[in-house]
Structure 1
Amino acid sequence: MKQVLVVGGGAAGMMAAAVAAEYGARAFLLEKQSRVGMKLSITGKGRCNLTSAEEERQRFIAGYARNGQFLFTALNAFSNLDLIRFFQEHGLDCKVERGQRVFPQSDRASDVVRVLYKNLEQLGVDVNKSQGVKALLFQDGKAIGVQTQKGKVLADAVIIATGGMSYPRTGSTGDGYRWAATAGHHIIEPRPGLVPLVVEESWVRELQGLSLRNVRAIAWSSKGKKINEDFGEMLFTHFGVSGPIILSMSRDIGEELLRQEKVRLVLDLKPALNEETLDQRLQRDLALYSRRQFRNSLDDLLPRKLIPLMVRLSGIDPQKESNQVSRQERKNLLQLLKEFELTVLATRPIDEAIVTAGGVDVKEVDPRTMQSRLVKALFFAGEILDIDGYTGGFNLQAAFSTGYLAGKNAALLYG
């Protein structure tokens, strides 16, 4: 029986080990942490956005910021629909929420880990926890195993599924990059993928914890070039901004920040209303509360936490009666609502990122098998590869699909 060794007990590693066993190999899984699936158990705020329900393949691939086409064969081998079916067949129903996001019906990421681990047990995978790997072992241009803290572990094929560098406390500390480099692979510099943004304006601290829905955000370079745009939900923090649309835009913003010091982030707080309609709405609200002070007339328009700041930034006397607000003052408020500007200085550190951008150069990996083009019997799966998606389940799907393909082909390598 062929022996397949998988290093890394995350989504990609658990899938790879299970599939290798299904295809007749004796599978070993090495995880340096005390339990498997640590990062998976906290993803999606503990709810685990498994994948996207998008069925059209090219639109699904468009969910990746970099190298989405590399995943074409992997997604054909194990698609998002296959993943949903896998969990349902193992007793974990799924549901589709806003933006085509797929979650377990239970809303518990721990249930996802439980299903994957139980599947490993049922398939007879030898799971070794608290088993750190120190180096890859090679012989005659072929991967033959690993050196662990306890000794050598030999195998017919090795799959590296150690993740990136985000959330290092879960075990993703970049080990796999070093091993890939020793095999001759080029590593695209790791950097934050989905990550919150740091802004210049100190007043964001006043808005800490405020979540806004149905907001349009556009990022602009200093030369007036549109960097990225998104619509949906965002969150203010003590250092800046976060939330789904900010995370999705953060990769492109981060790349632009490498070329310049600052990026303009412009929020449309009322994207459903054009300027004329919004002006009519403002006039109605100011007339409705005509005897109130201006600072008390915006309750129907804005979240309470945002009102004091908007009043201050508008330059309108907060004690002025609403019926005394001039046309020009109303115009200034209108512009503030449609072009609420922030200055982005930086991304948060990579260890706070949800995913890592960069990694093993996919030009050196066969997309049909996930095997290294440089070293025989060496495979890669998951976040260690230079693939990163936007929010919405794309990153986990890439992990599961590449894990599936690596596990299958590692098992069939000498068949």
Structure 2
Amino acid sequence: MSKVIVIGGGPAGMMAAYAAAESGHAVTLLEQNEKLGKKLFITGKGRCNLTNASDMEQLFANVVSNRKFLYSAFYSYDNEQVISFFESHGMPTKTERGNRVFPVSDHSSDVIAALSTALRGQHVEVFLHTKVKRLLLEKRDEEKRVTGVELADHTKMHADAVIVATGGISYPSTGATGDGYRMAEESGHKMVSPTPALVPMEMKEPWVRDLQGLSLRNVRMSVTRGKKKLYEDFGEMLFTHFGVSGPLVLSASGCIPAKAFDQELSMTIDLKPALDVEQLDHRILREFDEMKNKQFKNSLGHLLPAKMIPVMIALSGIDPDTKVNEISREQRQNLLHLFKNMPLTITGLRDFKEAIITKGGVSVKDINPSTMESKLVQGLYFCGEVLDLDALTGGYNLQIAWSTGHLAGISVL
């Protein structure tokens, strides 16, 4: 039996602590906040999309960074096992659109309660308000080995293995400080510069402010950099005072490379993806025929949300007071193109305060993918968001946390 310290009481840390304790080790979990799962509590607007019920191929397809690294982790602890874990600890689940899995109660607190129950059941010792200052390391036969941690109050805690699950630096209000990055660097690990991911986007066009609060459902959105398409998908988005947000936008942000803004990024929105160009043209003609004696500004009520009509009219270049029966074929074709390709220009991403996750972190090249143990320091493991791993929205990032945390926990010798 080894003595194991887990640093960080988020999803990866709690799962790692549970798995290590279930494997027969004496586990101590250190959390700097006043409670476990502080960031987990606000995940998914408080509902907590805890995994995705899609098949393994789909899970890997939604991982953005270093998906091959996750092969062992995902196969050793997959989404079905995650669902089974929570249901066996008193938290029934449900699957919604896009195979997103939630607690039946829609309360993230139930996810944390199930994990807390599991930790108590395995006699994991939990210390809250406990901040780790540094890792304790020593050299044995020219090899570095972790021997424990030193706390902020200079107390030293010794252990046979240490699992770092400190998360990233998104949502700093939840206590995210990047301490795990510092500990990794101090122990010789390479870092991939952290950037915000799954974050809203800022737009150049001033008219987005006129649409603030408007949510669009069932639209298709694409993001391009020059001639290269970075992202395209179908779903829901939201206009804000600075640009756009919502599930589609958050996922798209995760596909934008850190250096992408050395060139203009374009976004186009297909407002009517269910209709091809010909079908939409027929639909517009039908609307125009029924309203041929009305002014153009009063003819789009069945095609667009009211808030969007003035913006579309302005973008179309058609005089709002023009009678519908006076609109030329060329003007109608321009309007049709606008419906299928509403243009926006991305000027930047919002910062870590609004990012759901962090892109970048401890380089996976320094980590053994079969165990999550450091290749540089014996007995030192990393899991979850502290690593350079990230995925799109839909429960995939939490699956990374559960899988890598569990693998780290069961791999302790």
Give the structure-2-normalised TM-score: 0.96
Residue 3 of structure 1 aligns with an amino acid whose one-letter code is K
Correspondence list, 1:152-171, <5 A? 152-171=156-175
Corresponding residue to 2:307 among 305, 308, 311? 305
Task: Report if aligned partners of 1:221, 1:256 keep a CA contact under 8 Å in 2.
Answer: no
- 1:175 matched to 2:174? The reply is no
1:93 and 1:294 map into 2 onto residues whose CA distance is: 52
Q: CA deviation at 1:312?
A: 1.6
Q: Which residue of 2 aligns with 1:123?
A: 122
Q: Which residue of 2 aligns with 1:217?
A: 221
2:258 and 2:7 map into 1 onto residues whose CA distance is: 30
Q: Which residue of 2 aligns with 1:269?
A: 271
Task: Report if aligned partners of 2:172, 2:352 keep a CA contact under 8 Å in 1.
Answer: no
- 1:253 matched to 2:252? The reply is no
- 1:367 matched to 2:369? The reply is yes
SS of 2:262's equivalent? coil
Q: Which residue of 1 aligns with 2:346?
A: 344
Q: Which residue of 1 aligns with 2:148?
A: 145
2:317 and 2:238 map into 1 onto residues whose CA distance is: 25
1:69 and 1:327 map into 2 onto residues whose CA distance is: 52
Q: Which residue of 1 aligns with 2:29?
A: 29
Q: Which residue of 2 aligns with 1:319?
A: 321
Correspondence list, 1:12-91, <5 A? 12-55=12-55, 57-91=56-90
2:312 and 2:105 map into 1 onto residues whose CA distance is: 39
Task: Report if aligned partners of 2:89, 2:117 keep a CA contact under 8 Å in 1.
Answer: no
Task: Report if aligned partners of 1:291, 1:323 keep a CA contact under 8 Å in 2.
Answer: yes
Task: Report if aligned partners of 2:254, 2:391 keep a CA contact under 8 Å in 1.
Answer: no
2:255 and 2:75 map into 1 onto residues whose CA distance is: 28
Task: Report if aligned partners of 1:194, 1:391 keep a CA contact under 8 Å in 2.
Answer: yes
* Cα separation, partners in 2 of 1:302 and 1:256, compared to 1, 3 Å: farther
**Alpha-carbon displacement from aligned partner over 1:303-341 (angstroms, at most 9, x marks no partner):** 111111111211222222323322222112111111100
Residue 233 of structure 2 aligns with an amino acid whose one-letter code is D
1:37 and 1:289 map into 2 onto residues whose CA distance is: 56
Residue 243 of structure 2 aligns with an amino acid whose one-letter code is G
1:175 and 1:258 map into 2 onto residues whose CA distance is: 28
Please tell me the root mean square deviation across aligned C-alpha atoms, in Å.
1.2
**Alpha-carbon displacement from aligned partner over 1:377-396 (angstroms, at most 9, x marks no partner):** 00001000111001111100
Residue 175 of structure 1 aligns with an amino acid whose one-letter code is D
**Alpha-carbon displacement from aligned partner over 1:171-195 (angstroms, at most 9, x marks no partner):** 2211000000111100111111211
- 1:234 matched to 2:237? The reply is yes
Task: Report if aligned partners of 1:254, 1:347 keep a CA contact under 8 Å in 2.
Answer: no
2:278 and 2:238 map into 1 onto residues whose CA distance is: 27
SS of 2:95's equivalent? strand
Unaligned runs of 5+ in 1: none
1:68 and 1:357 map into 2 onto residues whose CA distance is: 13
Q: CA deviation at 1:23?
A: 0.9
Q: Which residue of 1 aligns with 2:407?
A: 405
Q: CA deviation at 1:254?
A: 4.4
SS of 2:345's equivalent? strand
SS of 2:400's equivalent? helix
Give the structure-1-normalised TM-score: 0.96
* Cα separation, partners in 2 of 1:256 and 1:278, compared to 1, 3 Å: farther
Task: Report if aligned partners of 2:48, 2:107 keep a CA contact under 8 Å in 1.
Answer: yes
Unaligned runs of 5+ in 2: none
1:4 and 1:136 map into 2 onto residues whose CA distance is: 13
Correspondence list, 1:367-386, <5 A? 367-386=369-388
Q: CA deviation at 1:279?
A: 0.7
1:16 and 1:251 map into 2 onto residues whose CA distance is: 26
1:254 and 1:213 map into 2 onto residues whose CA distance is: 26
1:307 and 1:256 map into 2 onto residues whose CA distance is: 35
Q: CA deviation at 1:253?
A: 2.6
2:61 and 2:337 map into 1 onto residues whose CA distance is: 33
SS of 1:188's equivalent? strand
1:357 and 1:221 map into 2 onto residues whose CA distance is: 19
* Cα separation, partners in 2 of 1:194 and 1:343, compared to 1, 3 Å: same
1:293 and 1:63 map into 2 onto residues whose CA distance is: 46
How high is the sequence identity, in percent, across the aligned residues?
A: 51
1:81 and 1:304 map into 2 onto residues whose CA distance is: 44
Task: Report if aligned partners of 1:257, 1:345 keep a CA contact under 8 Å in 2.
Answer: no
Task: Report if aligned partners of 1:257, 1:346 keep a CA contact under 8 Å in 2.
Answer: no
Q: CA deviation at 1:129?
A: 0.5
2:257 and 2:284 map into 1 onto residues whose CA distance is: 36
Residue 399 of structure 1 aligns with an amino acid whose one-letter code is A
Q: CA deviation at 1:29?
A: 0.5
2:233 and 2:239 map into 1 onto residues whose CA distance is: 16
Q: CA deviation at 1:256?
A: 5.1
Q: Which residue of 2 aligns with 1:330?
A: 332
Q: CA deviation at 1:163?
A: 0.2
SS of 1:352's equivalent? coil
1:122 and 1:18 map into 2 onto residues whose CA distance is: 9
Task: Report if aligned partners of 2:253, 2:349 keep a CA contact under 8 Å in 1.
Answer: yes
SS of 2:361's equivalent? strand
**Alpha-carbon displacement from aligned partner over 1:184-211 (angstroms, at most 9, x marks no partner):** 1001111112111111011100111111
